Amino acid sequence: MAERIIWSPIQKEKLYLSKKEQILYRDLILAAKEARAFPRQSNFFVRAAILTTEGHIVLGGNDEYAFSDAFVHGETAALAAALTQYGDEPIRALAFYSDQDPSSEFTGGSCGNCRDVFKEYVSPEMVVLEGNERKMTLTHFSDYLFEDFRQIDPQTVNALGYEEAANGIAAGVDVYLPQHLRNGIYGVAIVANSGNIWQGSLDTNAGYDAVTPGLAARQVWRNSHPEAELQKIVIARYDSLPSPLYRDRQALLELDEALMDHTGRKTPLSVKLVHLDRTGKVVQVAETNTQEWMPAPFTAGSFGMVDAVRGSLKGLF
């Protein structure tokens, strides 16, 4: 077997693991190789394995059907199996088997939807591995997350879009959510340079299917006389600053990637996060952008899929 290279692509330095850890993580990656996957839509096989703190290993693969991204993602399939079989045991590590040698440069992570799921069940310090018989990379789940939003003076920010984002909160369908989740609902507004605004709100149903506010705003923009020259995205929530779902972050980043390619704009779209009190008064404002808030992105742009990036705007302009 070729020498195994232990590399942390986030810290940009080799990690000197103990021999026991090297064997443990190698075996977990090789276990992931045996996971069965049925990617009938993408033909992209995701083979994953999870290791619990008690040493149990469970496998998961992505299963797809037409008109859906994937009804079971590889890592969430493994997580569901681990919770079903060993629900009381914390998760120590998640591994992906890849036929291609992982790069020493970080080229992508889990999609936004999977990050949201894992946030509910694992520690930020969970080890994340990718590799094969020749090489592996090691990171931690925290490397896929970003919450360090910059606080700014509300008086210095153009409030255009605040009202529409607040209306998005009120329009959210929260009847199917438990009470503790209802307080976290936020609204989204996409604001154009022209001043036109497209609003998004949460929509859920009895099957627990959901269209999240960022996805909704993107679809309203797409279906209601879209404009390519955008100014910012506003996200508002009552009682605290919003922490948007990673599913929404991915959706809005993919939109921005396509528009940057289309218009030639060089800087990512600004995102304003607004904390409102129950009267609608602005309490705090923070900012980020569509690239910063989604580290190690899982998007067509991050993978160099130029045709897919441009195809996402087909017929609009």
Q: Considering the domain 5-144 in this protein, what is its CATH number?
A: 3.40.140.10
Residue 71 has pLDDT above 90, yes or no: no
Structure tokens at 307: 């045709």
Lowest mean pLDDT among 81-90, 107-116, 178-187: 107-116
What pLDDT is recorded for position 12?
A: 63
What pLDDT is recorded for position 104?
A: 58
What pLDDT is recorded for position 119?
A: 96
Q: Distance (Å, rounded) from C-alpha 28 to C-alpha 14?
A: 19
What pLDDT is recorded for position 2?
A: 44
% of the chain beyond a pLDDT of 90: 74
| Run of H or E residues at 56 | none
Average pLDDT over the chain, rounded to an integer: 92
34 and 57 Cβ atoms separated by less than 8 Å: no
pLDDT band at 1 (very low <50, low <70, confident <90, very high): very low
Domain residue limits, the chain: 5-144, 150-311
| Selection from 54-58, 156-160, 293-297 with the highest mean pLDDT | 54-58
Residue 85 has pLDDT above 60, yes or no: yes
Lowest mean pLDDT among 7-21, 55-69, 212-226, 286-300: 7-21
Measured in degrees and rounded to the nearest 5, phi and psi for residue 127 equal: -75, 135
- Is the CATH number of domain 150-311 3.40.140.10? yes
Measured in degrees and rounded to the nearest 5, phi and psi for residue 276 equal: -110, 145
What pLDDT is recorded for position 166?
A: 97
Write the pLDDT tens digit of every residue in 221-265: 999 999 999 999 999 999 999 999 999 999 999 999 999 999 999
Residue 132 has pLDDT above 60, yes or no: yes
What pLDDT is recorded for position 41?
A: 83
Residue 103 has pLDDT above 80, yes or no: no
What pLDDT is recorded for position 75?
A: 96
Write the pLDDT tens digit of every residue in 5-58: 677 766 666 777 888 998 999 999 999 999 999 988 888 899 999 999 999 999
Residue 316 has pLDDT above 60, yes or no: yes
Residue 3 has pLDDT above 60, yes or no: no
Strand order in the sheet with 270-276: 150-152, 282-289, 270-276, 230-238, 186-192, 197-200
Lowest mean pLDDT among 59-73, 246-260, 281-295: 59-73
Structure tokens at 241: 């600053």
Structure tokens at 296: 């190690």
Q: Distance (Å, rounded) from C-alpha 112 to C-alpha 105?
A: 20
Higher pLDDT residue, 119 or 102? Answer: 119
What pLDDT is recorded for position 17?
A: 84
Higher pLDDT residue, 14 or 269? Answer: 269
